[in-house]
Structure 1
Amino acid sequence: MSSKTNYSYIGIAFIILVFGIIFIPKIVDRIKNNDVSRSDRMSNVPDNHYSSKEKLAFLEINGEAKKVPEFSFTNQDGKTITNTDYLGKVYVVEFFFTTCPTICPIMSENLIQIQDRFKSIDNFGVASFTINPSHDTPEVLKEYAEKYGITNPNWNLLTGDREAIYNLANLGFNLYTAEEEGAAGGFEHSGNFALIDKNGFIRSRTDAYGNPKIYYRGTITEKAKYDEDGEEEEITMLKEDIKKLLNE
């Protein structure tokens, strides 16, 4: 064997030795501190084509971060609930009605899944606003809550003045809501969820162009994965982003 070959082997061995001295203690230290795990690696994999690595964006209107408008309604227990009751909490907003024959049962099922995922978290909640308040009285909402297994004390099913609810949906959240004779159940409404941070701001991931996604699709279950039009579920994404806001 030539001396050049020997020098090559010695050089490679030296590089390996230096790498071990510098990097292996750091890797071991990270493992001891739970910085490296399979779940961590998996949580950094982007899903649904949106970035999951970065801080959630604010929805900005005219350069200002959009907050949830003030509201005051009655919940399923007959208590008055306002937007200030949610300050300090991360929560999901939806608009629904109890006699909805189409998307509402799926939305409720998804929210139950989310409730159960965060059942031990005191500062997580849901605000469900009925768009049929003349029918959905506190008593009706209470029955609905029992039917679906709503147990989170911060999950309020809210009813009250019809015009105030529609203004909150259409102007406050830009989530389309309307009473329509030809629609299933007599109402048209968005099947999207809004995610609100502890300070009352609407938050979401951004798309490939840096624009806020704004809402989360609530009409497809994690189990189904896709709907008949090929749209992908976003409940997995929503769960991840709730966790992100809870940790802020």
Structure 2
Amino acid sequence: MYRIVFFLISSLFFISCNDSKRQEHHKKDNIDLPYYNDPTFTPVFIKDKSSVQKKITHTITDFEFLNQDSVLVNQNIIENKIHVANFIFTSCGSICPIMTNHLKIVNDSLQNDKDLVLLSYSVTPWIDTPSVLSAYKKNHNISNKNWLFLTGLKSEIYKLARQSYYAEEDIGFSRDSTEFLHTEHLILVDKTKRIRGIYNGTVALDMTALINDIRTLQNEK
């Protein structure tokens, strides 16, 4: 019995030490996040930040949609802010509730960060009116004012999803705009509106990676 207890304590100490070493190693290496400049999501690493504007030409385009409070919002809400985008619909009984609950992990961990915006775009905007989105937000106990649920014209949301966020990765430009958009991806965008990460919203472990990457962007010069 004593041997088992000693073994468990030793194992926990070993894991804790390794986690600390990994964190310290990450700090020393000062690892930067890659950029994603096309729908194939091929990572582009850039050491010289002065060349980013020239090498990474793709940014999230301007938009204008209604939020859950019937307030018209546009790209100004993400100016000089990090944001995470995903695409859901309130009547979804499969991956959408899971994605929302997982994104709450990110929200709860970084709720005091005023420079982080979460955008959940509806892919069934003809159903998801502002009042429906407001009820969805309340039902999921989301009070963060910087987490917006957006609705508008289907064509505009789908175009933004596929051509700006590359929400369906390499098929972003190949699908017809009328085809239903359903993706589990969360997209991380930096303060200059450039894509810096993609994550599986149905996998809780990916939320840890997303939180860490957001913190990396917060410290990026």
Of residues 199, 211, 218, the one that matches 1:216 is: 199
Which one of 132, 143, 155 corresponds to residue 124 of structure 2? 132
Tell me the alpha carbon deviations over residues 145-172 of structure 1, each in whole angstroms, 9 at most, x when there is no partner: 1011212211110000110011111222
Any idea what SS the aligned residue of 1:119 has? coil
Using the size of structure 1 for normalisation, the TM-score is: 0.66
Q: Which entry has the higher C-alpha Rg, 1 or 2?
A: 1
Match of 1:195 in 2: 188
Deviations 1:165-215 (A, max 9, x none): 1111122222238776xxxxxx551101100111211113xxxxxxxxxx1
Preserved CA contact (<8 Å) 2:158 2:181: no
Change in Cα spacing, 1:64 to 1:145, as seen in structure 2 (3 Å) is same
Alignment check: 8 A CA contact 1:112 1:149 kept? no
Distance in 1 between residues matched to 2:160 and 2:181, nearest whole Å = 15
Query: TM-score with structure 2 length normalisation?
Result: 0.74
- Cα distance per residue 1:1-52 (max 9 Å; x no partner): xxxxxxxxxxxxxxxxxxxxxxxxxxxxxxxxxxxx9865343578xxxxx9
In structure 2, the partner of 1:54 is: 31
Q: Partner amino acid for 1:149?
A: N
Quick check: 1:125–1:152 contact (8 Å CA) kept in 2?
no
Q: Match for residue 42 of structure 2?
A: none
Higher helix share: 2
Helix, strand or coil: the match of 1:54?
Answer: coil
Conserved? CA contact 2:65–2:152, under 8 Å? yes
What is residue 84 of structure 1 aligned with on the other side? 76
CA contact (8 A) 2:37 2:195 kept: no
Report if aligned partners of 2:81, 2:191 keep a CA contact under 8 Å in 1: yes
- Residue in 1 that maps onto 2:47: none
Paired with 1:123 and 1:39, the residues of 2 have a C-alpha distance of 28
Identical positions, percent: 31
Q: Which runs of 5+ in 2 are unaligned?
A: 1-16, 39-53, 169-174
